[in-house]
Structure 1
Amino acid sequence: MSSALRAKELLIRAVECDQIGRILEAQTLYQDGIAQLMGFVNGEPDENKRKGFLTRIKEYMDRADAIKARVNGKLMLGKVVSHICIEDNDIGYDYDDIFGQFMDDKTIEILLEEPYMTQNYQYQNLVRFLELTAVKCKNMKYFRLVTKEDTKNLDQQKTNIGQIKADLERRNITCCVKYEESLHDRRIYLSNGYIIKIGRGLHFYKASNPVYSIGLVNYKFRKCHKTDVDIWSNSNS
């Protein structure tokens, strides 16, 4: 498929997602479509055609910027509806207990900002979160993970995340992974209007000790590191 046709396909899908409220997916599609179209335009010898394409690109860039502003607004605004203070060595806090009640059939998109995704237990925590999503969010269509690159073992990181991405896509959930080295926030945006902010992100559980003891599988019995959890509600979502 030529870059022009690929760009057209991506941008048509972006507009469709934009119109039905799947703004996270639309944002990614606009960005990818614009990049494809720019690559095509740079090789276009006809000056008039190139100007026409650049005009269209500007229109799509404006749409993408508007969506970015909407996403950022949803992440920044709202009010706290739940606050949980987890003390060191506390037990009884699995993901379902903490925020499962805020995940529902209206959640069609999720953005997870989790800086650290390099260790086996961190991938396992991600899978546990997605398992809860599969139970609670029956209409889930799009998942975006934003994390940092594993500079020590990048190939293994991409293999592990690639397996998770492929499994989601087999379940008809589009998955997008973005790497941002400056990322430090840990938060989960649900498209039904809730934002979950956890001081330690998903990784607030201590290792099961000894390994084969109660808590190995059921995290309700896992000891926790000290952290705070705030659930925000954005009434405009």
Structure 2
Amino acid sequence: MTDALEAKKLLIRAVECDQSGRILEAQSLYQDGIAKLMSFVSSEPDDQRRKGFLTRIKEYMDRADAIKARVNGKLMLGEVVAHISIEENDTGYDYVQLFGKYMTDKTVEILIEEPYLTQNYQYQNLIRFLELAVTNCSEFKYLRLITKQDTANVDQQRTNLGQIKADLERRNVAFNIKYEDSLHDRKIYLSNGYIIKIGRGLHFYKANNPLYSIGLTNYRYRKCLQTDVDIWRNSSTGN
């Protein structure tokens, strides 16, 4: 498929997502579609056709900028609706108990900013969260993950995230991965307007010790590291 045809397909999907309110997915599709179209235009020999394409690119860039402003607006914190202080060695704090009630059928898109995905237990924590998402969020269609690249083991990280991506796509959930080496903050944005901030991100559980004891699979019984959890509600969200 040529760059022009790929760009057309991506941009049509971007407009569809934009119109249906799936702004995180629309943002990624606009960016990818514009990049493909720019690549095609750079090799177009006909001046008139090139000018026409550049005009269309400008229109899509304006749409993408508007989407970016909407995304940034929705990511602004509103009011705190819950604050949980977890003390060292506390138990009773599975993801379900902490924020399961905020993950509803109005959650269509999820953005996870989680800097550290390098160890097996960190991928397992991500999967546990996604299990909650597919259980509670019946309309879940899009996940964007922002994380740091595992420079010590790039191939393994790519393989692990590739497996997660393939599994989500089998469940009709699109998965976009973005690497930001300067990422530090941890945050989870739900498209129904809730923003979850955890001091340690998803990784606040201690290893089960001994391994084969209560808490191995049900993290409600796992001991925790000290952290704070804040649930925010974006006041500009109409859901």
TM-score (ref. length: structure 2): 0.98
TM-aligned CA deviation for residue 76 of structure 1: 1.5
Shift of 1:29: 0.3
- Tell me, which stretches of 5 or more residues in structure 1 are unaligned? none
Q: Which residue of 2 aligns with 1:78?
A: 78
Q: Distance in 1 between matches of 2:156 and 2:93?
A: 30
Deviation at 1:62, TM superposition (A): 1.4
**Conservation of the 8 A alpha-carbon contact between 2:77 and 2:195:** no
Q: Distance in 1 between matches of 2:165 and 2:5?
A: 25
SS, match of residue 44 in structure 2? coil
Per the alignment, residue 4 of structure 1 pairs with: 4
For 1:19 and 1:202, the matched residues in 2 are separated by 32
Instruction: Give the counterpart letter for 1:121 in structure 2.
Output: Y
Provide the aligned length of Structure 1 versus Structure 2: 237
Residue 235 of structure 1 aligns with which residue?
A: 235
Partner of residue 35, structure 2: 35
How far residue 50 of structure 1 moved from its aligned partner, in angstroms, is 1.2
1:208 alignment partner in structure 2: 208
Listed as ranges, the matches of 1:221-232 within 5 Å are 221-232=221-232
1:109 counterpart letter in structure 2? E
Q: CA deviation at 1:139?
A: 0.8
CA distance in structure 2 between the aligned counterparts of 1:211 and 1:87, rounded to whole angstroms:
22
**1:213 shift after superposition:** 1.1
How large is the RMSD of aligned CA atoms in angstroms? Answer: 0.8
> Which residue in 1 is equivalent to 2:163?
163
Matches within 5 A, 1:61-100: 61-100=61-100
| Per-residue deviation, 1:235 | 2.7
Is this contact kept in 1: 2:144–2:177, CA < 8 A?
yes
Deviations 1:150-201 (A, max 9, x none): 0000000000010011000000111111111111110100001100000100
TM-score, normalised relative to structure 1? 0.98
> Shift of the alpha carbon at 1:68?
1.2
Distance in 2 between the 1:84 and 1:67 partners?
33
Residue 139 (structure 2) aligns with: 139
Aligned twin of 1:220 = 220
Q: Distance in 1 between matches of 2:42 and 2:22?
A: 30
For 1:188, the equivalent position in structure 2 comes to 188
Cα displacement (A) at 1:212: 1.0
Alignment of 1:100-179 (within 5 A): 100-179=100-179
> C-alpha distance in 2, partners of 1:16/1:98?
34
* SS in structure 2 of the partner of residue 225 of structure 1: coil
Q: Could you tell me which runs of 5 or more consecutive residues in structure 2 were left unpaired when the two chains were aligned.
A: none
Q: CA deviation at 1:77?
A: 3.2
Worse-superposed segment, 49-58 or 225-234: 49-58
SS at match of 1:76: coil
Aligned-residue sequence identity (percent) comes to: 75
Matches of 2:54 and 2:184, distance apart in 1: 35
Question: CA–CA distance in 1 between the matches of 2:80 and 2:74?
Answer: 13
Instruction: Tell me, in whole angstroms, the C-alpha distance in 1 between the residues paired with 2:117 and 2:227.
Output: 18
